[in-house]
Amino acid sequence: MTDSSPSLPTAIAPGRVNLLGEHVDYNGGPVLPAAIDRAVRLAYLPRSDRQVYLRARDLNTGVVFDLDHLVDRQDIAGQPLPTWALYPAGVAWALSRKGLEVRGLEGEFTSTVPIGAGLSSSAAVELAFSVAWRTLGGWEADPLELARLCQRAENQYVGVNCGLMDQFASACGVEDHALYFDTRSLVWRPVPLPPSVVIVIADSGVRRSLANSAYNERRAACEQAVALLQPYLPGVTTLRDVTPEEFNRLADHLPELVRKRARHVVEECARVDEAIQCLDRGDGAAFGRLMFAGHASLRDLYEVSIPELDLLVELAGSLPGCLGARLTGAGFGGCTVNLVEEQHAEEFIQRLAAGYRAPGREAQVYLCRASRGAHIRGE
């Protein structure tokens, strides 16, 4: 089986890049991702039984599991499912628990979303399988509902405590638009990207080593900040509720490290709100300045950057046509995202890769465009 055959139905689900709004999702804040034209492609055929035959072409491996024994997390031979197979199996489990029909299928998938680079390769896998099963089952579910079911699969079946942003962006992507997403209310809308700019992603080559302890420490600091601010701001339930003005007035009530972490979140939420206004009026330059400011905050206040990411951002800022640059994703490795004037994009990509190579490193730098969310090819 190959998805290059035009006769086979193929589900396509994009990866995502977050343009602004980092480490605010667990504080109820707004984020600004975009689906990108790096995607998972799943070619599939229905089966008459309850078994799922899968091949991961990029890994040159396969697995078979039974839809009636998903709770066991085992293949049909009784062996534990490999990690990569937990994602489609988890989607089947979440859909079934919702009462949606999940049919046996034979499928092969491949991906152009780099694994471990912070571009949501796992969410893209989940969404590809969810739209395939939606089509096979003949049931209806809007993109946001699919995203929430895929998040449930990753949280409760795979065991990764992710937020909703990754699945949301892969499900709801709109061509040539970023996506404003309020992680508290789940209200969202597409926001047009300036027509003369493109997204360039630079993969540092450093795979993220976000230790659970580092993530948990930052999350705990945010919760501590809320607890310490509540006597002065009784209505506050998360840092998203605190304005920059209120924070500046009350910052001295927080320990130094907690103050740094909280300041990033409060100011990053405000940056996203300001960024929406910039994009609505087509001001790419002002939006780019907010990206640079966001990176400085992630580097200095939240302390999730690394020298390789800082170097990529510094190099990008020195090149013609670069409007903005910042790390994207959780940090501690992965990628930077750059907003670049299209007329300078080719030169930008070449010079950024060359500049990063000079200290003996290697970066994959490539142009991306904001793309459509998960769908069946031809539909």
Do residues 295 and 53 touch, judged by C-beta distance below 8 A?
no
Do residues 88 and 158 touch, judged by C-beta distance below 8 A?
no
* Residue that the structure tokens 């103050």 belong to: 259
- Residue of 316, 343, 318 lying closest to 326 (CA atoms): 316
Of the residues 3, 25, 166, 241, which is catalytic? 166
The token pair at 226 is 């809320």
CA 100 → CA 128, 134, 141, distances in Å?
Answer: 16, 8, 10
Write the DSSP assignment of 238-295 as a string of letters.
Answer: SGGG--HHHHHHHGGGS-HHHHHHHHHHHHHHHHHHHHHHHHHTT-HHHHHHHHHHHH
- Residue of 323, 50, 55, 361 lying closest to 199 (CA atoms): 323
DSSP 81: P
Query: Which amino acid does the sequence have at 305?
Result: S
DSSP 221: H
Residue 166 annotated to the active site: yes
Q: How far is CA 203 from the centre of its chain?
A: 15
DSSP 79: P
Q: Kindly list the catalytic residues.
A: 166
